Amino acid sequence: MSLSLVLLLSSMGLLLTGLVGIMAKKHLLRIALAFTLASTGVNILLVWTGYLAGRKAPIIDASIEEIATVAVVDPVPQALVLTSIVIGVAVSALLVVVAVLTSRELGTADVRRMRNLKW
């Protein structure tokens, strides 16, 4: 079982768990938690797209300076994930605030009992 497969399977598992949680859970904070799980899965999926077996992290030192193109993994998805993790923190903070304020306004955090949003 290669590391690439482990990355792919764990990302798919996290994505699956997160999507099921978003669709099936009733408490607003659990939905927010499931959302962060799904976004972690997407981050691992992005890292997987740039992973090449047996290569090193994209830091060029003296030992791999000449053979850099065959010795390092793809730096572009890693740069994307680096920014996306921090943005994910801010977005989940926003989600938690919306969940808390909604549950306070409606008196419940249970999505089944939020009748006044139905049409």
Partner 1 sequence: MRTFIAFLLALYLVFFAAAAFESFGEPQGLGRIAEHYAAEGFEEVGAINLVTAVVVTYRGLDTLGEVSVLFTAASAVILLLSVFPLGKPANKPSSIVLLTMKVLPGPILLFGGYIIAHGHLTPGGGFPGGAVVASAALLVLLGCTQEVGFAKWLTFAESMAGFSFAMLGFWGLLKLGQFLNNSVLFLGIPGQLLSAGIIPLISAAIGVKVASELSGILVAYRCGGGKE
Cα–Cα distances in Å, from 28 out to 18, 22, 25, 60, 111? 14, 9, 8, 45, 7
Site for partner 1 (CB under 8 A): which residue of 29, 47, 91, 99? 91
Site for partner 1 (CB under 8 A): which residue of 3, 24, 110, 113? 24
Q: Which two tokens mark 54?
A: 């047996």
Interface with partner 1, residue 6, by CB under 8 A? no
Interface with partner 1, residue 57, by CB under 8 A? yes
Site for partner 1 (CB under 8 A): which residue of 1, 54, 63, 86? 86
DSSP H/E element including 19: helix 3-24
Interface with partner 1, residue 78, by CB under 8 A? yes
Site for partner 1 (CB under 8 A): which residue of 7, 99, 100, 106? 100
Q: Decide if 74 contacts 52 (C-beta within 8 A).
A: yes
Interface with partner 1, residue 3, by CB under 8 A? no
DSSP H/E element including 41: helix 28-49
